[in-house]
Amino acid sequence: MKPEQQKIAIATACGWTLCEYVESIGLEKGFPPLNNLPSYGTYENGMAQLPDYLNDLNAMHEAEKTLWEKDWASRYDFVDKLARILNPTHGHHQQSGLDLLDATAAERAEAFLRTMNKWEETKL
């Protein structure tokens, strides 16, 4: 998936609506969920810039919490997907919990989307 597709898919899963990508300025924006308004700048008509899920561990933590609130058991699937991203050959069988702590925001974003069955392979 392209980075902007990932951000929009994660934001939508977290309750953002009418998300869009503004190619001319490289911006992803949408209407934030009313129960989780961003503390950073908003744009015209109540639209705000989407969190930088692929580079911000705090943003991914918030996204993960949203997923856990909907389905606590999905944590196990998320950990399995993350382990397979970090070690494609052996997955969680060779991955320690400490290795998972070092996962980047981008790796966590991919695991999040795979857990929700929203990941799309990039077509060449």
Q: Where are the domains of the chain?
A: 3-115
Report the Cα 17 to chain-centroid distance in Å: 15
Q: What is the pLDDT of residue 37?
A: 76
Q: What is the pLDDT of residue 11?
A: 95
The partner residues of 27 in beta bridges, in order of sequence, read: 22
Q: What is the pLDDT of residue 61?
A: 93
Contact 37, 55 (CB under 8 A): no
* Ranges in the chain, pLDDT < 70: 88-98, 123-124
pTM of the model: 0.86
Tokens of 82: 């993350």
Q: What is the pLDDT of residue 78?
A: 92
